[in-house]
Amino acid sequence: PPPPPTATANAVTAPPPPATQPSPPPTATTNAVAAPSPPATQKIATTTMRKKPEASSQPPLATRKSPIK
C-alpha cells in the first residue's frame, strides 16, 4: 500500500509548476489594455468631427421630402 500513495504525491507536485506559468500571461494583458486606452481617446475625437458633417447632410434630406409631397 505504501508505494501507491507515493505516485499520487508525485502527480500533485507536477501540476503546481504549470499553474505558475499561466501567471505571466495575465501581465501581458494588463500592458495591452494600458496601450489601447490612449488611442481610444484620440479615435473618439475623430468620430465626433465626422459626425458633425453627417448631421448637416440630414437637414437637406428633410427638405427633399417636402417637395416630393
The structure's pTM equals 0.12
Angle CA 30–47–39, to nearest 5: 25
Angle CA 63–65–69, to nearest 5: 125
From first CA to last CA, the distance across the chain in angstroms is 95
Tell me the domain boundaries of the chain.
Answer: 3-68
Calculate the alpha carbon distances from 32 to 17, 36, 38, 40, 42 in Å: 26, 7, 11, 13, 17
Q: What is the pLDDT along the chain (69 residues), one digit of tens a residue?
A: 555 555 555 544 445 554 444 455 555 455 545 454 554 455 555 555 555 555 555 555 555 555 555
